[in-house]
Structure 1
Amino acid sequence: MAQNRMLQFVTRAREMPEKREASVRAQDFSEIYREFAAAKAAEQAGRCSQCGVPYCQTHCPLHNNIPDWLRLTAEGRLQEAYELSQATNTFPEICGRICPQDRLCEGNCVIEQSGHGTVTIGAVEKYLTDTAWDNGWVKPVRPATERTESVAIIGAGPGGLAAADVLRRRGLQVTVYDRHDRAGGLLTYGIPGFKLEKDVVMQRIAQLEQGGVQFVLNCNVGEDISFDAIRGKHDAVIIATGVYKSRDLSGPNATAAGIVRAIDYLTASNRKSFGDEVPEFDSGELDAKGKRVVVIGGGDTAMDCVRTAIRQGAQSVKCLYRRDRANMPGSQRETANAEEEGVEFVWLTAPKGFTAGDAVEGVLVQQMRLGAPDASGRQSPEVIEGADYVEDADLVIKALGFEPEYLPKLWGSEGLEVTRWGTVKADFRSHATSLPGVFAVGDIVRGASLVVWAIRDGREAAESVLDYLAGAQAVAAE
């Protein structure tokens, strides 16, 4: 019987898909995990305890129906499992690859809490959706009825694309505006191929295009088209621009050549993977080959930078972070992968300046210790006086996080209210902003956050747009 295929966690150990050897994978930008075979995916899905209160589902921002599609996978009913997984998640193949499952679904798995090792939810989700693409189960959007109302989405990242998918399925005319020459936002230009191969993103964008979503690329709102013009052309607008303004460093020689922003470094590398001409890379400015690389920061962007530098053939790669391993914000899984590939982490260190001639030559490093907890409860780093030293470097990459651009000034729309942090002020549930018919989602509201939260916001905002348009029609009919 079907239930006999579940509850296997006592007799079967947790297994991840096979990981390519570090010495091999460090030579290319292909994904590091191999695919599950069908039998292995079913076996690992069968470890699910089918618990009465599924904490994995509760702690997933999209509330994916994880126990049910694990059961269907264990039973070999893969198309049904895929249909169930994509019912709540616009991009399960992307979340399966880049979600921090160790902090979300897998980290809250009941059998993990009981010491049996979590179900490998992300790997099964990736396997399911890759199988769906291979078998032609993923179809272009075909709305049952076309509607005349149009919606503009500013930003082609995960939040904007998720909203576009929901709205197009309901028959609305959707136009997505983006500043880049390819859609996808950070999925395309921010996340390296070894975590998310670019054909995975491109095939999803092609599906949206085939379903009737219009993309207007190389379009800077406020320069190529005004925000007011977009509002005038469409019945509703969703702002999904993300946050791209990099936090900076101060101190002596902070503007020296060879000190670069993480977003510039990662974008250049990803553009090369598409075969683009990238003068800043070809000149060596944004290429780590043969260089002593120091990355400053401890988040997922820093992990992307250090692992990219290894693949570019850096002489050495070090990551400076002002707290210890236990307090770093980045994924522990990514940190372990980086260490396997040859990255050295220098914990409890922070830059106070740089040494430089014609270009950067080193980082002036302050050694730190953890003191009393700050407002968030994390221990605050304190400088150890007299323990400074110089870390030699030919390339320094600043991965200190991102801040929002100030959209009211950038777009000439002072009526768009923002918070004191510069993020767009939007209702927590409806995502409505201070401007009628304008909604906002993702990092431009939350600050730098996870892809899965942007997807959730985009899907919710799409439903709010539908409600808003229905209300406008009702008023017009009176």
Structure 2
Amino acid sequence: MAKQRMLQFVTTDKEMPEKRPAPLRAQDFHEIYREFADAKAAEQAGRCSQCGVPFCQSHCPLHNNIPDWLRLTAEGRLQEAYEISQATNTFPEICGRICPQDRLCEGNCVIEQSGHGTVTIGAIEKYITDTAWENGWVQPIRPHAERGESVGIIGAGPGGLSAADMLRRKGIQVTVYDRYDRAGGLMTYGIPSFKLEKDVVMQRVEQLEQAGVQFVMNCNVGVDLSFDAIRGQHDAVLIATGVYKQRDLAAPGVGAKGVVTALDYLTASNRKSFGDEVEAYENGDLNAAGKRVVVIGGGDTAMDCVRTAIRQGAVSVKCLYRRDRANMPGSQREVANAEEEGVEFVWLSAPRGFTGGESVEGVIVQKMRLGEPDATGRQMPEIIEGADYVEPADIAIMALGFEPEALPTLWGVPDLGVTRWGTVKADFRSHATNLPGVYAAGDIVRGASLVVWAIRDGREAAEAILDYLAQPAAVAAE
């Protein structure tokens, strides 16, 4: 009788891939999790209960067919598992690394809810796709037939690249425009290598280049090339710029040297990982080595900053967040990793300003308490009067989130519809904007969000663009 491969959660405990010891991993920017061995991946995949209604799948933005590729992994059929995973996800090896599985698939795993510990879905997803790359199972993109229609994509982040992948597979001619010198968006310059090593992103970019996708880099739309010019060159255009305008803090001392933004700080660090010359890093402006670091914010970007500062050799790293641990938006897994590496979290604290004059010397901290819930149900932080103190700091990093840039103004397209928050207004199904043949996807529509949502939006937008291009009358009217 064949061995029962699934439903092993009653006899096999949850087990994540081994983490490198915190003192060791805090000295470099390599990924912190070791690889699953074949037997261990199969064992953990076999814990899946093969639910009739898989909540892991329904809570995945891409609705990945998770139970099926877990079963195939448990049975040792890894190439088939990869093919099932790739069918719904353009970048499964990236999602396996950076998705907040504790809030999505794993957080809704049925056996997790029953007290047995979730299936380690993300680690298995990463393992499957890394194995596929190593064994040559990731096939080049080869359209069955070339088509004459052309699509311009503005933004080489996860939304733009996932759309480019789908369109190119259908034979559409695709050109991607991006302001940076490398494709990948925040996957390249925003997320540190200890969460997502850059060769993982670059191998997907190379796959698209080999498939015939044209990349126009260092292209600042509205300055180097007008939006109208891009629109005139293509049969359809997808806006997938993401949101890069960082939220400001209106407080005394904000302009002092040493008060820096998260994106500038992370970009400098990531450029160093590519071997680039980064003057602001070399002169110490964006380098935490030997400094007392205070990071302001409680999201995933703040977690990236504190853990980067540790690796750069900071003397101390503290993270100020105005609510408590239970109410912070960042991944709890990331918080735990940061604490292991030596980061100190100062809960119920918010900045009121900065001391030091020309160069920052400290952060004036307001102590907070949680009051009544707001419209979303989260308790609102309230200031405790008279409890302020100064936290010494040589560098203060503001990780307060991102907002959309004013694209109609920057691009000289006043007719482009936007919401009252400044995001591009697009149909939530088709991703079509109010301009014929112009679509929008990802963070520029939904606001700062997750990579997995951008991938989903890009794939959906590509399908809508294909439908649009199939209407000759609509294209001829352009």
TM bucket (normalised to shorter chain) is over 0.9
Deviation at 1:474, TM superposition (A): 7.5
What is the distance in 1 between the residues matched to 2:346 and 2:462? 44
What amino acid is the match of 1:16? M
What is the distance in 2 between the residues matched to 1:388 and 1:22? 33
What is the distance in 2 between the residues matched to 1:43 and 1:65? 19
Alignment-derived partner of residue 215 in structure 2: 215
Deviation per residue, 1:402-450 (Å, 9 max, x gap): 0000000000001100000000000000000010000000000000000
Q: Does 1:425 align with 2:428?
A: no
Alignment-derived partner of residue 289 in structure 1: 289
What is the distance in 2 between the residues matched to 1:458 and 1:34? 31
What is the distance in 2 between the residues matched to 1:141 and 1:207? 7
What is the distance in 2 between the residues matched to 1:204 and 1:163? 13
- Aligned pairs for 1:96-115 (under 5 A) are 96-115=96-115
1:2 touches 1:75 (CA, 8 Å); kept in 2? no
Name the SS for the 2:361 alignment partner. Answer: strand
2:235 touches 2:475 (CA, 8 Å); kept in 1? no
Deviation at 1:140, TM superposition (A): 1.6
Alignment-derived partner of residue 72 in structure 1: 72
What is the distance in 2 between the residues matched to 1:391 and 1:139? 53
Alpha-carbon RMSD: 1.1
Q: Does 1:55 align with 2:72?
A: no
Deviation at 1:469, TM superposition (A): 0.7
Relative to structure 2, which stretch is displaced further, 22-31 or 252-261?
252-261
Deviation at 1:472, TM superposition (A): 2.9
Alignment-derived partner of residue 331 in structure 1: 331
Name the SS for the 1:318 alignment partner. Answer: strand
Alignment-derived partner of residue 33 in structure 1: 33
Name the SS for the 2:57 alignment partner. Answer: helix
1:426 touches 1:445 (CA, 8 Å); kept in 2? yes
Name the SS for the 1:104 alignment partner. Answer: coil
Deviation at 1:386, TM superposition (A): 0.6
Alignment-derived partner of residue 228 in structure 1: 228
What is the distance in 2 between the residues matched to 1:259 and 1:474? 51
What is the distance in 2 between the residues matched to 1:295 and 1:340? 17
Alignment-derived partner of residue 249 in structure 1: 249
- Aligned pairs for 1:65-464 (under 5 A) are 65-464=65-464
1:78 touches 1:128 (CA, 8 Å); kept in 2? yes
What is the distance in 2 between the residues matched to 1:358 and 1:370? 34
2:253 touches 2:357 (CA, 8 Å); kept in 1? no
What amino acid is the match of 2:216? V
1:408 touches 1:416 (CA, 8 Å); kept in 2? yes
Displacement over 4 Å in runs of 4+: 473-477
Deviation per residue, 1:333-372 (Å, 9 max, x gap): 0000000000000000000111013300000000000000
What is the distance in 1 between the residues matched to 2:411 and 2:383? 41
What is the distance in 2 between the residues matched to 1:434 and 1:254? 38
Alignment-derived partner of residue 471 in structure 1: 471
What amino acid is the match of 2:346? V
What is the distance in 1 between the residues matched to 2:57 and 2:223? 43
1:153 touches 1:237 (CA, 8 Å); kept in 2? yes
What is the distance in 2 between the residues matched to 1:412 and 1:439? 17
Deviation per residue, 1:25-49 (Å, 9 max, x gap): 0000000000000000000000000
Alignment length, in residue pairs? Answer: 477
Deviation at 1:251, TM superposition (A): 1.7
Alignment-derived partner of residue 22 in structure 2: 22
Deviation per residue, 1:266-307 (Å, 9 max, x gap): 000000000001000000000000000000000000000000
